[in-house]
Chain A
C-alpha cells in the first residue's frame, strides 16, 4: 500500500514538474528553426517592410536535404522568387527577366534566427510573453528584447502545433511597429516535396554570371576599418563589386548581432553629384532601416541597417580609411 502511494506521489510530482516547466523561449526558437528546415508548408504571407505592404504566396519544401523557399507575388509586378540555400532567383513574369543573387548570410524570407542563441545572451533577453492566435493558430509569443539601445525589439509568434513562425515583428525602442511579416493562412503539407513545389522559374538560358561576390572571405581586404562596434556585432561578410550601373567597385562589409544587421559601404565619391541624386551627408531612414552617410577624403561612406539611428551613427563615426578607396 505504501509503495503504491509512493508511486502515485511520484507520478503526481512528475506531472506537476512537467506542467511547471514549460518550454523556454530559446527552446521554442530552436524548435522553430528546426521546423522551418524540415517542414513542407505553404501559405499566404504579408510583408510590411520599408514602408511597403506586399502580400505573397509562400512555399517551403525540403528536397534533397536542402530547403527551398518560394514566393509568388499576388500583386503587380508579377514575380516569383526562389531561394535555394544562399542563392536567390527572381523571375519577373512580364519581362521574363531572371535575376540571380547569392546571399550566404540569409536563410529565410520570413525570419532569420541564429542557431546558437546562447551567444546572444549579452545582447538580448528571450522571454515567452504569452499566447495569441495568428491566422487562427494558437501561437507562443516570444519577445526578443535588447539589453541596450543599439538594436530593436523583436517578437516572433510561433505556432504551438508545428512550431512554424506565424508572425514576426520589429519594434522601435518606443514600441512602434517598424516591420512585420505575418501569415494570414498556412497549411503544413504531408505530400512529397517534389509535388509541392512546381516553380515556373526556369533555369537560366545563359551561363549564370550571377552576382556571386567577387570576394567574400575577409573584411581585411576592405578599404576601411570599422573601429567601433556595438556590443554583440561581428563582421560576417565582405564583398567588393560594382553595385550601381557602372564598373566602379563598392566595398561592402556586413555586420550582424544575430538578429539585426548593418551594412557598411565605401565607394569613391562621384564627381557628378546630380546623377542618381545621391543622398547628402547625415542620417536618413526608411521603415526600420536607418542610414548615415559620411564623406571620408574622396570616398563616400554609407552605413545602413535595421537598427536605431544612434547605432548607425556610432558605427559610421568609428570607420577609418585603411588605404585609398577602390
Chain B
C-alpha cells in the first residue's frame, strides 16, 4: 500500500501521474502530514539529482491554496442557480472544484519546477534586466525602404558619428568618450 503511494508521489514529482490519481493522492496527503513531508523530500531529491539548484516547495502548498480559495469573499452577483442539484450535492461539487483547482496548482508548480530544471544547466536563474531603450535600434544598412523592417544594431561608424555630432548636441549628453573630429580641440588644460 505504502509502496504504491511512494511510487505515486515519485510519479507526481516527475510529472507522470495521471489526473485522477493525482487527485486521489492529494486527498490522502491532506490528512497525512507524513505524506506531505515525503512529497517534499522526494521533490528535493529529484531536484538535487537533476540540477545543482534547490528550491523548497512548501508541504502545505495545496492546502494553502485550498484555504485561500475558501476564504475568497462571496460576490453577490446575479447568477443562474443549477436547478437539478440538491444543496448537499452542490456543496460536494464545489468542494470537488476546489480540490481540482488546488491539485492543478500543485501540478503547475511541479511542472514549472521541471521546466526550470530542463533549462540549460549553466544558470537555472537567469538575470532579468530592464533597460529603457527605445524600440528602434542602431544603424544598419538596409536594402528596403520600410523602416520598421530594417532596424539592426551594428556599431555606429565613425563617419555616422561625425555626422550625428555635427547635427545635434546629443553626443555630449550620451557619453561619447571618443569624439572630436568635428569640433576642434581647443586646449589641453595643464595643472
Contact = CB atoms under 8 A, between A and B. Distances in A.
Contacts of B79: none
A178 interface: yes
Contacts of B160: 279, 284, 286, 291, 304
A71 B170 CA distance: 12
A106 B168 contact: yes
B92 interface: no
A243 B184 CA distance: 10
Given A54-B174, A88-B169, A282-B142, A97 B136 contact: no
A123 B142 CA distance: 29
A211 interface: yes
Interface string A240-252: 0011110000001
B185 A99 contact: yes
A98 B159 CA distance: 22
Given A202-B189, A243-B162, A291-B163, A285 B175 contact: no
Interface stretch (A26-34, A44-52, A134-142, A224-232): A44-52
B137 interface: yes
Contacts of A254: 167
Contacts of A116: none
B188 interface: yes
Contact of B172 (A71, A204, A263): A71
Interface residues on A, range: 35 or more
Contacts of A79: 172
B175 A100 contact: no
Nearest to B153: A51
Interface stretch (A2-10, A15-23, A157-165, A305-313): A305-313
A301 B133 CA distance: 29
A147 interface: no
A14 B142 CA distance: 61
Contacts of A54: 173-175
Interface in A196-230: 202, 204-206, 208-211
B189 A91 contact: yes
A324 interface: no
Q: Choose among A47, A101, A178 the residue with the greatest number of B CB atoms under 10 Å from its CB.
A: A101
Contact of A284 (B134, B141, B185): B141
Nearest to B131: A53
Contacts, number: 191
A130 interface: no
B166 A261 contact: no
B15 interface: no
Given A277-B157, A283-B142, A243 B166 contact: yes
B189 A286 contact: no
A263 B139 contact: no
Interface string A261-276: 1010100000000001
A252 to B, nearest CB: 6
A277 B131 CA distance: 28
B137 to A, nearest CB: 7
Interface string B131-149: 1111111111111010100
B132 to A, nearest CB: 6
A302 interface: yes
A76 B175 CA distance: 7
Contacts of B188: 95-98, 205-206
Interface string B147-191: 100110000111110111011111011110100111111111111
A73 interface: yes
B189 A304 contact: no
A252 B162 CA distance: 12
A289 interface: yes
A318 interface: no
A210 B186 contact: yes
A90 interface: yes
A287 B136 contact: yes
A280 interface: yes
A75 B180 CA distance: 19
A244 B91 CA distance: 81
Contacts of B189: 91, 96-98, 202, 205
B156 A263 contact: no
| Most B-side CB within 10 Å, residue of A53, A282, A286 | A286
Contacts of B157: 276-279
Contacts of A294: none
20 contacts: A88-B172, A91-B189, A98-B185, A98-B187, A99-B184, A100-B184, A103-B169, A206-B186, A243-B181, A278-B157, A285-B137, A285-B138, A285-B140, A285-B151, A286-B137, A286-B139, A286-B164, A306-B168, A310-B147, A313-B145
The 5 closest A-B pairs by CB, nearest first: A204-B187, A284-B139, A309-B147, A96-B189, A52-B174
